[in-house]
Amino acid sequence: MLNVDDDYSLFLLGQYFYEQKEFEKAYHYFEIMANRNNFQSKYQAAVMCYDGLGTTLNQSKGFEMINELATSTDPKARNLYQAAAVNVGRAYFYGAGTIRSEELAEKFWKLAADGEEQTGACTLAQTTLGLFYSLPDHQNFEMAFHYHDLASKKGSLESIGALGTMYLHGMGVKENEEKGYQYLKEASTKGNLYAKGNLINYYYLRMLYTKAGELATTMVDITDIASASKETGCLEYFIKIGISMGCFFYARCLTLGRGVQMNETLARHYYSRVSELPISVKRL
């Protein structure tokens, strides 16, 4: 029989219902425990408020709870503060449930990235900062390289691919074609589609057309971007760029008969896919 005074039992019950996708029941138990100041339950309840799972969508309430965890000095919240800080950073960056502030987003991402605990959330924060410092308004390639380098050593697929392009083009680090190629090859082999698109570009520009065409065939027909993102942990935006690059260079191969049999009809199909994907790649 369930002991309603046993905090851990109630948390497990909420987690069970969450995994069964019975979100209203899950939120009910997480909310009970959140009101008892159980930090793990508070984190789960906050996420459910943000997503409107099992309760009314309320991002302001979700932010209030997640921010409390990110800034708490209670030792019991120590194992959650990095994950909470990453999400607080996102909330500030997008203005979800709070004001929009890129300065505060950076502050909380750094709180998570520079912490002593080496967790998955720490790695995610490092990758996020690597991408943040590559944005035009915050461009600092040395800092971007620093955080991508840290995250890549912990297995971040996004950061491994980013390092490949940074080494190739000398962004925040001395240009090193061999290192750039190796990072792109590693990330591509592990499923990073942005890295794969850049590797196709690398092969094509060096007239390795057969390699470019063969690699392109492994990714140009991918349409389920969300699933690819979930499987690899890479951002949808960069996945789209990678696929767009692959489609462009594969279409060039098909148009000119480079490394593949000439096929203008198929080339037009893949050119049309480029137009459906990010604008930044249309200038290739």
Share of the chain above pLDDT 90, in %: 80
Token look-up 């019975």 returns 22
Is residue 15 over pLDDT 90? Answer: yes
What pLDDT does 283 receive? 44
Cα–Cα distance between 4 and 170 in angstroms, integer?
59
- Does the pLDDT at position 233 exceed 60? yes
Q: Of how many residues is the chain composed?
A: 284
When pLDDT is averaged across residues 229-251 and rounded to a whole number, the result is 91
| pLDDT, greater one: 75 or 6 | 75
- Average pLDDT along the chain: 91
The pTM is what? 0.86
Q: To the nearest 10°, the Cα dihedral for 93, 72, 38, 49?
A: -20
Sign of the CA dihedral running 280, 158, 95, 29 = positive
CA distances from 170 to 182, 207, 247 (A): 15, 22, 25
- Which among 107, 103, 102, 153 is positioned nearest to 127, based on CA atoms? 153
Encoded amino acid at 280, one letter: S
Q: Does 1 score more than 70 pLDDT?
A: no
Tens digit of pLDDT for each residue in 189-215? 999 999 999 999 999 999 999 999 999
100-132 residue pLDDT tens: 999 999 999 999 998 777 788 999 999 999 999
Using a 10 angstrom Cβ sphere, with 0-12 exposed, 13-18 middle and 19 or more buried, the burial of residue 215 is buried
